[in-house]
Amino acid sequence: MTRIAVERAAGPVRLHLAPGLLQPRLVSRGGTSAQVALVASGATLLGGDEVAVDVEVGDGCTLGIEDVGGTVAYESTGAPSRFDVRIRLGVGARLIWRAHPFVVTDGADVRRRTAITLGEGAALLLRETLVLGRTGERGGRLATALEARSTSGTPLLIEHLDLDGASPRPGVLGGHRVLDTALLLGRRPPEAPVDPADPVGPRVLHLEQPGAIGRALGASAHATDVAAMMESWAPAVGAGEGGA
């Protein structure tokens, strides 16, 4: 299991990095913050593979994670592959994870689980780009389960998706192959000025609890503006801004 943990210490933050199928590398660190790159060793997910990533950000710490290269899930040989992420944020902790696309090729069968726990005043900004198939493909099966709760158990966002590139469903993804999402939890996003002449762009879904989903359905991972939305939301998460 890949593990990334950050906690306060006398002097710079203390980091625990343990490699799994993905390898964390320290980029930089300071008194309360650290930046880590996540390198895929092989960058592929085969049938039966199980990737697990555990991220823990201690009280008052800020962590940035940058993926180096995306992940491609290949045809399963009977057994589904798994990609499990667990994120735990302490009191006032912050995490920004700029994840790269997750591609599910024809014949692949993948289960993705993302379990998030937010401490009081914590904030999370997470990019998730799901792509059904490489160019010219329709894509395989992808079942995702994202569950985010506060430490006290308040549900923030519970979203399970059942996608199958071989049988697209109107109302789920329709004919689109890409679901590109910026997920903000623990903060309300800045109100963006709406340009009625240019309604194209990510849709913002404001959650009941502080948080939002910026989301675009598209034909290709490059065509969405979610990356720009992600950066426009990042200051709300950043240290000293946004409020708790």
Residues that bind another protein (CB under 8 A): 145, 148, 154-162, 169-174, 176, 179, 203, 205-209, 213, 215, 217
Residues paired with 22 in a beta bridge: 40
Place of tokens 């004919």: 175
Shorter beta-carbon distance to another protein: residue 80 or 218: 218
What is the DSSP secondary-structure string of 124-162?
A: EEEEEEEEESSTT----EEEEEEEEEETT--EEEEEEEE
Q: How far is the CB of 179 from another protein (least distance, A)?
A: 6
Shorter beta-carbon distance to another protein: residue 29 or 177: 177
Please state, in angstroms and rounded to a whole number, the distance separating the CA atoms of residues 54 and 56: 7
Q: How far is the CB of 195 from another protein (least distance, A)?
A: 13
Give the alpha-carbon dihedral of 100, 122, 202, 165, to 10 degrees: 50
Shorter beta-carbon distance to another protein: residue 5 or 182: 182
Q: How far is the CB of 171 from another protein (least distance, A)?
A: 4
Shorter beta-carbon distance to another protein: residue 63 or 183: 183
Q: How far is the CB of 208 from another protein (least distance, A)?
A: 4
Shorter beta-carbon distance to another protein: residue 61 or 236: 236
Sign of CA pseudo-dihedral 8, 10, 12, 17? negative
Decide the pairing of beta strands 71-73 and 33-40: unpaired
Q: How far is the CB of 174 from another protein (least distance, A)?
A: 5
Residues paired with 15 in a beta bridge: 6
155-164: strand order across its sheet:
14-18, 2-7, 50-57, 81-89, 109-118, 141-150, 155-164
Asked whether 129 and 98 are in contact (CB, 8 A), the reply is no
Q: How far is the CB of 38 from another protein (least distance, A)?
A: 25
Shorter beta-carbon distance to another protein: residue 133 or 189: 189
